[in-house]
Amino acid sequence: MLLQVRNILRIKSLFLIGLPSGTLLAAVLASPPVTPSQAQQPATGTPTTASPAASSAQPGVASPFGAQTQQAGLSIVVLDPAHGGTDPGARGTGGIRESEIVLDFAIQVRRALELQGFQVVQTRQGNEDPSFDDRSATANAQRGAVFVTLHISSTGLPGTARVYVNSDLPPVSNSNGLIPWDRAQAPFLGLSKTFGDLVQGFLLQRFKGSPETTQTASVRQLRTTAAPAIAVEISSVTVENRADLDRMAPGVADAIARGVAAFKPSYVVASTPGAPR
Amino acid sequence: MTPHWKFWVIGGLVVAVLAAAIYFPILRRRVKRAARLQQQSEEQARRELAQPIAINPGDPRVKTKLFWASDTIDSTLVPVTVELPLSSDPVVRSKQVLNTLLAGPVDTELRTLPPDALLLAFYLLPDGTAIADFSEALATSVPSGIVSEQLAVNSIARTLEANVQQVQRLKILIHGQEMETLAGHLDLTGTFVVNTKPAQAPVKPASTPSSTDKPATLAAR
């Protein structure tokens, strides 16, 4: 029936580490602690995906990315200015368009993150409108990344900012080491919440009236993202003057950058594909 | 051929021209009217057909919780209790409470759903999954944004949760179709958890499950 539509049909797998097999093999071989038996894992070239481990990572579990992870950790932030192209997003009475403002916000967030030493990848640079899956794919192609999607709301108390993480998703079976694309966020929900609470805390310091903790919502963009992922929504396009929103940009950028920096120690790229959070 | 014959032919032609001159504007008006009717969207046609579910005054009046926006706390829902004669049939009951929810509160500022949105159909599967089919206005008129879209969906789900125990999950369709999002943000490809408790049949008219037990997927805080 109608319910059987896309959820059942769209089971795609993530291919996050298929391409740099040569580089990875070199990294594994160069890593002294990895035993030969452990080193056989990546050599199979089985498509798999990044997985979170955080502080719960099991000691002794071999990681084909062990050496690389220890060196890099969290270093990449994927920034997603929402909407774009023919989709303006929320529109205010004064001609304010969400798609334009989030792009301007992204520039400032990017600058603040780069000052902290993070590499930033944007899902769009100009007035394009990549699909939800394309945006997730940009994030899923990175290793050791976090994902932040930027939004401006139509409603809510002006001058406040909310952080959202995805609602609970059905658990992912780990039998084949693959994460279904449709539920790519499932193993990362705990990390996303930790990350979101940190950013929300910094936003609250700057913008009074904002919530104290992260909210949960079924945000489509977050569901297919295989990384700690949050949505930051700023209120709102109903302001009379666009300058009211522009004034918030430095504070939002600072809060996100500080949140990412604070989250960095608690995010260790997992050793086992599909490992629980 | 006689001149008499010519007279009748010319006379007939004049009559025909006059008749055409009178009939042509009438025909033109009819064509225009038909074109206007054709321009009516499919949804408008369905709207004419979609009869709001009748409330039977003979049904027992029960306290019904309807979730609309709070006027004190920003972007949150509060239950408003009204007494309505509700059917014991879960499908009819669901239609009755959702139509009342769509009609909106007295203070229109506290609406969570667009005033022009309609419930086109409502189904309840044996496993407790409800399918609510709304008109396009729900997607096109709800303010775009995570907070506003979540408020709209939560008001539907929590109203069902409080008044129809048989509904365990909710699937929202727009004009009979599955949509990726409601208005660009909230995911409509899955189902929303409504009641986590097993359904008890038949529904007692006065029973209103606690709304404090909110599932994480629908929590509106």
- Domains of chain A (ranges plus CATH)? 74-265 (3.40.630.40)
**Are the beta carbons of A87 and B129 separated by less than 8 Å?**
no
In a domain, B54, yes or no: no
User: Both B122 and B208 in a single domain?
Assistant: yes
Strand pairing partners for B61? B85
B9 pLDDT above the threshold of 90: yes
* ipTM, two decimals: 0.74
Residue B166 sits in the same domain as residue B95 = yes
Residue B14 domain boundaries: 3-39
Distance of alpha carbon A64 from alpha carbon A200, whole angstroms: 34
A216 inside 8 A of chain B by CB: yes
pLDDT in tens, A56-77: 333 333 333 333 434 458 899 9
CB contact under 8 A, B144 and A231: no
Is B55 contained in some domain?
A: no
Q: Indicate if B125 and B196 belong to the same structural domain.
A: yes
CB contact under 8 A, A132 and B180: yes
Q: Out of A89, A162, A164, name the one closest to residue B144 (CB).
A: A89
Same domain, B24 and B73: no
Distances (CA, A) of B186 to A12, A126, B138, B174: 21, 24, 13, 13
Statement to judge: residues B125 and B212 lie in one domain:
yes
- Mean pLDDT for back-to-back runs of 10 residues, chain A (277 residues): 40 42 40 35 35 38 37 84 95 89 97 96 96 97 95 93 93 76 93 98 96 96 97 92 93 98 87 45
Looking at the structure, do residues B95 and B175 belong to the same domain, yes or no?
yes
Task: Closest CB to B74: pick one of A3, A156, A221.
Answer: A156
Judging contacts by C-beta atoms under 8 Å, the chain A residues touching residue B144 are 89-91, 98, 154
Q: What is the pLDDT of residues A145-185, one digit of tens each?
A: 999 999 999 999 999 999 999 998 887 776 677 888 999 99
Contacts of A225 (CB under 8 A, 6+ apart): A136, A139, A140, A147, A184, A185, A188
**Chain B hits for A162, Cβ within 8 Å:** 146-147
Regarding predicted confidence, which is higher, B218 or B75?
B75
What part of B 108-127 touches A (C-beta under 8 Å)?
Answer: 125
Flag whether B46 is in a domain. no
Q: Do the bridges between strand A215-217 and strand B192-193 make them parallel or antiparallel, or are there none, so unpaired?
A: unpaired
Cα–Cα distance between A1 and A12 in angstroms, integer?
Answer: 21
Indicate the number of domains in chain B: 2
Residue B21 and residue B99 share a domain: no
B34 and B73 part of one domain: no
Cβ within 8 Å, pair B147-A219: no
Residue B101 belongs to a domain: yes
| φ, ψ at A80 (rounded to 5°) | -120, 100
Residue-level pLDDT at B108: 86
Is B78 a domain residue? yes
Contacts of residue B1, Cβ cutoff 8 Å, sequence gap at least 6: none
Chain-chain contact of A218 with B129 (C-beta, under 8 angstroms): no
- Inform me whether the pLDDT recorded for B30 exceeds 60: yes
Q: Is B56 domain-assigned?
A: no
Query: Quick one: which H or E segment has residue A195?
Result: helix A189-206
> d(Cα A10, Cα A5) in Å, to the nearest integer?
9
pLDDT tens digits along B146-175: 999 999 999 999 999 999 999 999 999 999
Contact map slice: A 21-80 vs B, CB within 8 A: none
Whether A155 and chain B come into contact, CB under 8 Å, resolves to yes
Query: Which residue among B143, B181, B191 sits closest to A220, beta carbon to beta carbon?
Result: B181
| Threshold 0.80, pTM exceeds | no
Domain membership flag for residue B199: yes
> In 10 A of CB A168, how many CB atoms?
14
Report the residue from A89, A218, A235 with minimal CB separation from B187: A218
Give B42-76 pLDDT, tens digit per residue.
Answer: 555 555 555 566 678 888 899 999 999 998 888 89
pLDDT given for residue B202 in this prediction? 43
Q: H or E element: which one contains B172?
A: strand B169-174
One domain for residues B137 and B187: yes
Say whether residue B72 is in contact with chain A using an 8 A CB cutoff: no
Report the alpha-carbon distance of residue B73 to residue A52 in Å, rounded. Answer: 36
Examine the domain organization and report whether B75 and B28 are in the same domain. Answer: no
Assigned domain for B53 exists = no
